[in-house]
Structure formats: C-alpha cells, structure tokens
Amino acid sequence: MTQVFIAADSRQARETLEAIVVSSHDLELVGSSEVDAALGRIQTSRPSVALVDAADLESAYQAIETRAQVVVLVGDAGRKQTYDLLRAGASAVLPRDAESHAIIAAIRAAAAGLVAVMREAAPALASAGSARSWPTDEDASPHLSPREREVLRLLAAGTGNKGIALRLRISEHTVKFHVASILAKLHAGSRTEAVTEGIRRGLVML
C-alpha cells in the first residue's frame, strides 16, 4: 500500500486531492495539511509519497527538501519550471488541473522510484538536456532553492534564526529546516562552514 501525505494551502485543494487518493484501492491517505505544517510531518512520518499543491515554487522546493518522493502540482508546468523542479529532486511535476488518473499514475510512479511528467512536456525536457548532464558531483554547485539562497545570505550577514524568520516572514521551524538543508547540501558542519563554502562556490557575494 502506497502511503500518501497531501500538502496544500487551500482547503478546497486538499479536499479534492484527498478524494482522488482515497478513490484508489492501492493508495492510503496518511495525512493532509497546509504546506508549512506539512514539512515536519513529512520528515517524521516518511510517507511513500508527498503530494504537494504548490501555490508558489518556494512551497515546492521546501517539500522536495524533505527528501521524500514528491509529486508537485503547479500552475505552470512549462519546460523550465518542470526541468528545474525535477533537477531539484521532484519525482513528478503536473499542472494543477491534471485529471485524477494522471495524478494517481504520478503517485504510483514516484513510489516506484520513477520520474513522471505530462506527455506533452517530455519532448521539450529531452531537448533541454538529459539527467546525465545535471551536476551531481561534489564539486558542482549544489541546487539551493531561492529561499535557501536568501537564508544563506542572511547567515552570511550574521542574522540569527529569529531575525531570519522575521525578515522572510516564515516560522523559526522553517528557518531551522532550511539551515539544516543548506548544511547538508554544502557538506558543512556549521553555519560558519556553510557561509565559507557558499562564498567559495559563488553562492554568497561579499
């Protein structure tokens, strides 16, 4: 049984996605909440797949950073957005108005360790470059989300978690989540090391 956690800020969207998930005999709905609240729950409960209705790209990147298999629903599933989200680690990228059978198929694919996109997006993605061309070695610049780059810049300025939360209008829990993700991606053992490595890689400008 594939366990699915739904993250969507709109109550209507959550209810619609919940109905889609429970309609399939091989999918089990294990939770549903707004995106910000979902991050910690996805990390602790480790569902088979996180189904995320992303009101903005930041929501999508935050979910991807939980290291779960993530199916992202976005308003614009064009080539660039789809390519960037898949490169960041999404298992599937679909338009928000995708039909229920497409969403269920994407969830099943993600649970099986596959990548799924809408048929019409495949040729454009193929022309953009294959997965083999994506940087994966330790020396390549890691893919930090736009919000992670903001957090890293504030860390470089000496801003604490509370100050970052106020500046970016997010919770301190979310700040801690971003900091942990930045440390992992930069292979850093501390904030100072992360900032140093960020400067070395050109992610932070002095």
- Based on the domain organization, do 29 and 98 belong to the same domain? yes
Q: Is residue 205 part of a domain?
A: no
> Which pLDDT belongs to residue 132?
40
Q: What is the CATH number of the domain that holds 159?
A: 1.10.10.10
> Which pLDDT belongs to residue 137?
40
Q: How far apart are CA 6 and CA 142, in angstroms?
A: 27
> Which pLDDT belongs to residue 139?
42
Q: Is residue 64 part of a domain?
A: yes
Q: Is residue 65 part of a domain?
A: yes
- Based on the domain organization, do 73 and 167 belong to the same domain? no
Mean pLDDT of residues grouped by 10 in the chain (206 residues)?
Answer: 93 95 95 87 87 82 82 79 80 90 93 82 55 43 79 89 90 88 86 84 70
| CB under 8 A, 24+ apart: contacts of 28-34 | 28/1, 28/2, 28/3, 28/4, 29/4, 30/3, 30/4, 30/5, 31/5, 31/6, 32/5, 32/6, 32/7, 32/8, 33/6, 33/7, 34/7, 34/8, 34/9
> Which pLDDT belongs to residue 30?
94
Residues 31-79 pLDDT 10s:
999 988 888 888 888 899 999 998 777 778 878 877 789 999 988 766 7
The whole-model pTM stands at: 0.64
- Based on the domain organization, do 14 and 54 belong to the same domain? yes
- Based on the domain organization, do 68 and 32 belong to the same domain? yes
Q: Is residue 189 part of a domain?
A: yes
- Based on the domain organization, do 155 and 82 belong to the same domain? no
Domain count, the chain: 2
Calculate the CA 162 to chain-centre distance: 23
- Based on the domain organization, do 129 and 153 belong to the same domain? no
> Which pLDDT belongs to residue 196?
84
Q: Is residue 12 part of a domain?
A: yes
Show the domain range for 39: 2-133
- Based on the domain organization, do 171 and 123 belong to the same domain? no
> Which pLDDT belongs to residue 206?
53
Length of the chain: 206
Cβ proximity of 73 and 54 under 8 Å: yes
> Which pLDDT belongs to residue 45?
82
Q: How far apart are CA 89 and CA 61, in angstroms?
A: 9
Tokens for 130, please give them. 């294959």
- Based on the domain organization, do 48 and 77 belong to the same domain? yes
- Based on the domain organization, do 7 and 96 belong to the same domain? yes
- Based on the domain organization, do 23 and 121 belong to the same domain? yes
